[in-house]
Amino acid sequence: MDMAAIDQIRLNFNPQGLLIINMAIGLMMFGVALDLKVADFKRVLVDPKAPGIGLLAQFMLLPAFTFLLTLAIRPHPSMALGMMLVAACPGGNLSNIITYLARGNCAVSISMTAVSSAMAILMTPFNLALWGRLNPDTAVILREVRLSPTDVFVTIFVILGIPLAAGLMTTRTFPRLADRVRRPFKIFSLSFFILIVCGALAANWHYFLHYVGLVIFAVFVHNLLALNIGYWSARAIRLDARDCRAVSIEVGIQNSALGLVLVFNFFDGLGGMAILVAWWGIWHIIAGLTAAWLFSRQRLPGDEEPLTARHNL
């Protein structure tokens, strides 16, 4: 099997197409920010234990363990860089609802989403450059594209930082307007996320089918690693069960739409990266909902009876 063929197809966009995609993901972030409040950021300072360990797992442990995973399973270099890119992204905008379904601590999840989205402006380019250059195989790609962390920083600031600030300001200054547009933006965010992921997969469909086993295996192991890093990090400092669930899901649900935008902007839609990040976008929803279902079947302290008994009533 000629693995180099996976990079023969590239998702090329003209400047107008890239501008539309960047604007669309900026609108997605604005919609996410409409659900956030300044108090969500303050909560991290007032009660930092759960979101703090979650953010440590998100931006330090997951990228480091992803680097080790790429050395262990040795995927194609572009796929390995795609894994590092996903690990460098902040939590995804579906993590809050999945945490709710898992009967996790939604306040912790929302706080982590808020802070990780802001931290990603610095941490995403930093982690991608650091770990990507430490792996000899992926370092070659970074040298070829001459990736500048400063350029990545500016891009993420424009499509994450500015919409985040605008959404928070809208909620604070025009609460009634925010209430009216919150639901349409949620629908738009989900629809656009599905569209951008399916578009990336469709453009690479022939190669996806040819390498489906390798892609599915890499994403499955990587996502399972992310969910477990979050959960066991929280358990290690003896957080309660609801906090552990929130941290696990927040680390396991990554903003793969942002990852795809960065692939388009800086790597010319490199096939291996695009396929892996796009499949991550689909798989982490499946894995997140599965984790939520498994968590929801487990009793929490204070439950009077098993969930199965209540469901049978």
Residues 86, 83: Cα–Cα separation, whole Å: 5
Is residue 160 a part of any domain in this protein? Answer: yes
Give the domain range for residue 221.
Answer: 10-296
Is residue 274 a part of any domain in this protein? Answer: yes
Integer angstrom CA distances of residue 142 from 125, 131, 150, 202, 246: 12, 11, 14, 26, 34
pLDDT at 305: 53
pLDDT at 5: 55
Number of structural domains (the chain) is: 1
Residues 265, 276: Cα–Cα separation, whole Å: 16
Is residue 313 a part of any domain in this protein? Answer: no
What the block records as the tokens of 303 is 């439950």
Is residue 4 a part of any domain in this protein? Answer: no
Is residue 303 a part of any domain in this protein? Answer: no
What CATH number does the domain containing 93 carry? 1.20.1530.20
Residues 306, 310: Cα–Cα separation, whole Å: 7
Q: How confident is the prediction along the chain (313 residues), in pLDDT tens digits per residue? A: 455 555 555 555 555 566 677 777 777 778 777 877 777 777 778 888 989 999 999 999 999 999 999 999 988 889 999 999 999 999 877 888 899 899 999 888 888 888 898 899 999 999 999 999 999 989 988 888 777 778 888 888 888 888 888 888 888 888 888 888 877 877 777 777 677 777 766 766 776 677 778 888 999 999 999 999 999 999 999 999 999 999 999 999 998 888 888 888 888 777 788 889 888 988 998 999 999 999 998 888 766 554 444 444 3
pLDDT at 200: 67
With 0.85 as the threshold, say if the pTM is over it: no
Is residue 91 a part of any domain in this protein? Answer: yes
Residues 82, 13: Cα–Cα separation, whole Å: 19
Is residue 104 a part of any domain in this protein? Answer: yes
Is residue 3 a part of any domain in this protein? Answer: no
Query: Do residues 272 and 6 make contact, with C-beta atoms less than 8 angstroms apart?
Result: yes
* CA-based end-to-end distance of the chain: 55
Helices (H), the chain: 15-33, 38-46, 49-56, 62-73, 77-88, 95-101, 106-134, 136-145, 149-156, 162-173, 175-203, 205-210, 212-236, 241-252, 256-266, 271-296, 307-311
